[in-house]
Amino acid sequence: MPNLFLKNSVEISVFEKAVYTALLEVPKGKVITYGDLASNAGFFGASRAVGNALKRNPFAPKIPCHRVVKSNGEVGGFAYGVRRKIEILRSENIEIKDGKIINFSKVKI
DNA sequence: TGTTTGACAAGCA
DNA sequence: CTGCTTGCCAAAC
């Protein structure tokens, strides 16, 4: 395994490292899909694995996990509840209706 | 070391 | 639009 970093005494796989790093490049007020994030991280098609990586994210508030959404415009999941995710997104001026993002093509990277 | 698991995606009826 | 099926991938069992 070509991985294992040490961040705050927590082991991180190269996969997670790549995902978190790529995610940090998403500006406030914008979102990215699980699939695109996977691609940006260098793991095309790993959308599902990305979800897992975010869920078990060791350092929660440090990374903007809330900016990762589904490719169909739905919000997706969140470790602390979808409700919370929506609130945070709204606080970043991203409109959401019925669990779906308004103007998805415009707020998406 | 094989199987199961998900915060997914895309295609089709 | 809804619901179902298959494909995916890294991590956890």
pLDDT-derived band at A22 (thresholds 50, 70, 90) equals very high
Q: How far is the CA of A76 from the C1' of C5 (A)?
A: 21
Helix (H), strand (E) at residue A33: strand A32-33
pLDDT at A7: 54
Average pLDDT, chain A: 91
CA distances from A1 to A4, A23, A49, A73, A85 (A): 8, 23, 17, 35, 33
Give me the residues near strand B, CB below 7 A: A 33-35, 47-52, 54-55, 57, 65-66, 68, 70-72, 76-79
- Taking only the tens place, the pLDDT of each residue in A27-77 is 999 999 999 999 999 999 999 999 999 998 767 678 999 999 999 999 999
CB atoms under 10 Å from CB of A33, counted, come to: 20
